[in-house]
Amino acid sequence: MFFRLMYHIVLPIYVVFVIFSSITLERSQNDFFIILLGILFITSIYLERIYPRYFIYIATIEIVSLLLFHFTTQLNWCFTIYIILLSKFLFQIRGVIKGVLLGFFLIGFYTVIRISYTPVDSYSVLAVGSDFLTSLAVVLIIQYIIETEREKNVLKEEKKLEELRYNEDKMKLLGEMAAGLAHEIRNPLTIIQGFLQHAKEDHYNIQPWYDLILSEVCRMNKLTFEFLQFSKPDVSLYQTHSIHECLERVISLTESKALSSGHQIVFTDYDPNLFIRMYFDKMVQVFVNLINNAIQAMVESGNITIRLLKVENKAVVEVSDMGVGIEEADLKNIFNPFYTTKSDGTGLGLPICQKIIQDHGGAIEVTSILKQGTTFTIRFPLNSVDPH
């Protein structure tokens, strides 16, 4: 936009101004030639845009017509036209060395032509130095602009690429999740379809299978219900709560189930002054999921220990059990959607926990020793504002 404004509007106006000045000041050698050369120069600038393929030829016409124009006008003001032309070439040819050489080449010609109509005295000799230095400054400024522009473009490209990669990852994950869910739902559906078809076509009595069919329907219901938990809650639902209060709620919800399975929930090291911004219900769900897994992992009676501590400006919650443990090779799978080792499992509990924890800016880690137990460690950034 500014490029075109400069070369297609300002430059022609300046050329017309020089023609007018040269004729008015009676410096012109030949009025007709001046106008003709001015038109040739401006036309070549426009032609270059239309025929970029012939750049070299058109650029030669531009330089030659400018030199002749300068010679005919006999005005030093043509220097500005040389500088504008030089700046245009600098954007087109790139490179400092080439730019400096071109600048010196153009200013060299300018000097020769200027000497042809001005007497050589100390003033004009010093003016030559000034002209060369000006061209050098122009080359460096334009080079700086080109460099900054290039860096900006590289950054923009990198950002675009990153966004693209992120979107690709997201789509891949979405595809995997959708395929997983479809696969999980298809199995019970096929079973139910088989029973119904059998009953319809062969008048087969499926009454003894009602419980199985119902349990398969329940499983699908559970799967879709849990799958929905993946959605990110509205930001407005986040409020500052004490984690201690959240864990107390979790314990009150899970204690009876643990006791009826012969286990004890032990809450130690609690710090009631750790606050984080959380979606309370989702956070409760995270720990209920972990405790349910712990209960299911313990064949014999044992303790489920919950610790809450502050480590380096983070709230840390540990949920440990004395269960069967997880094999080293399986540790990397447990956060994958639909990975389960249980006959009635959905494999969505831990991925959902991880998603909720990440939505809260936290992270979850696991360590496990076979036949001794498993510990899940969750870290959250603390909210510095104490609401009370």
Ligand X SMILES: Nc1ncnc2c1ncn2[C@@H]1O[C@H](COP(=O)(O)OP(=O)(O)O)[C@@H](O)[C@H]1O
Q: Site residues (CB under 5 A) for Mg ion?
A: 293, 349
Q: Where does this chain touch ligand X (CB under 6 A) — which range of 31-39, 64-72, 212-220, 287-295?
A: 287-295
Q: Where does this chain touch ligand X (CB under 6 A) — which range of 36-44, 96-104, 175-183, 346-354?
A: 346-354
Instruction: Establish if 184 lies at the interface with ligand X (CB under 6 A).
Output: no
Instruction: Establish if 332 lies at the interface with ligand X (CB under 6 A).
Output: no
Instruction: Choose among 315, 254, 318, 262: nearest CA to 288.
Output: 254
From the CB of 371, what's the least distance to Mg ion, in Å? 20
Instruction: Establish if 294 lies at the interface with ligand X (CB under 6 A).
Output: yes
Site mask for ligand X (CB under 6 A), range 206-235, x = bound: ------------------------------
Instruction: Establish if 38 lies at the interface with ligand X (CB under 6 A).
Output: no
Compute how many other C-beta atoms are within 10 angstroms of the C-beta atom of residue 242. Answer: 21
Residues with Cβ within 8 Å of 219's Cβ and at least 6 positions away in sequence, in order, are: 188, 344, 346
Which tokens in the block code for residue 215? Answer: 């349990």
Name residue 374's beta-bridge partners: 368
CA distance 321 to 291: 9
Binding residue (CB under 6 A) for ligand X from 346, 354, 360, 380: 346
From the CB of 167, what's the least distance to ligand X, in Å? 27
Instruction: Establish if 254 lies at the interface with ligand X (CB under 6 A).
Output: no
Q: Where does this chain touch ligand X (CB under 6 A) — which range of 76-84, 137-145, 239-247, 318-326?
A: 318-326
- Closer to ligand X by CB, 99 or 188: give it: 188
Instruction: Establish if 180 lies at the interface with ligand X (CB under 6 A).
Output: no
Describe the strand order of the beta sheet including 264-268 as a list of residue ranges. Answer: 264-268, 303-311, 314-320, 373-381, 363-369
Which tokens in the block code for residue 229? Answer: 């938990």
Instruction: Establish if 347 lies at the interface with ligand X (CB under 6 A).
Output: yes
Compute how many other C-beta atoms are within 10 angstroms of the C-beta atom of residue 115. Answer: 13
Binding residue (CB under 6 A) for ligand X from 334, 356, 357, 364: 334
Instruction: Establish if 323 lies at the interface with ligand X (CB under 6 A).
Output: yes
Residues with Cβ within 8 Å of 255's Cβ and at least 6 positions away in sequence, in order, are: 265
CA distance 373 to 194: 41
- Closer to ligand X by CB, 186 or 342: give it: 342
Binding residue (CB under 6 A) for ligand X from 342, 358, 361, 365: 342
3-state secondary structure (DSSP) of residue 319: strand
Q: Exposed (0-12), middle (13-18) or buried (19+): which is 351, by Cβ within 10 Å?
A: buried
The site partner of 294 among ligand X, Mg ion, none (C-beta below 5 to 8 Å per kind) is ligand X
CA dihedral 166, 171, 172, 177 (to 10 degrees): 130
From the CB of 284, what's the least distance to ligand X, in Å? 16
Residue identified by tokens 């870290």 is: 379
- Closer to ligand X by CB, 99 or 351: give it: 351
- Closer to Mg ion by CB, 254 or 293: give it: 293
Element (H, E) at 142: helix 122-202
From the CB of 317, what's the least distance to ligand X, in Å? 14
The site partner of 284 among ligand X, Mg ion, none (C-beta below 5 to 8 Å per kind) is none
For residue 303, which phi and psi values (nearest 5 degrees)? Answer: -105, 145
From the CB of 310, what's the least distance to ligand X, in Å? 24
Binding residue (CB under 6 A) for ligand X from 270, 345, 367, 379: 345
What DSSP line would sit under 192-236, residue for residue?
A: HHHHHHHHHHH----GGGHHHHHHHHHHHHHHHHHHHTTSPPPGG
Q: Where does this chain touch ligand X (CB under 6 A) — which range of 41-49, 97-105, 186-194, 317-325?
A: 317-325
CB burial string 272-284: b at 16+ within 10 A, e below = eebbbbbbeebbb
From the CB of 153, what's the least distance to Mg ion, in Å? 49
CA distance 242 to 227: 28
Instruction: Establish if 378 lies at the interface with ligand X (CB under 6 A).
Output: no
Binding residue (CB under 6 A) for ligand X from 33, 209, 270, 339: 339
Residues that bind ligand X (CB under 6 A): 289, 293-294, 297, 321, 323-324, 326, 334, 339-342, 345-350, 374
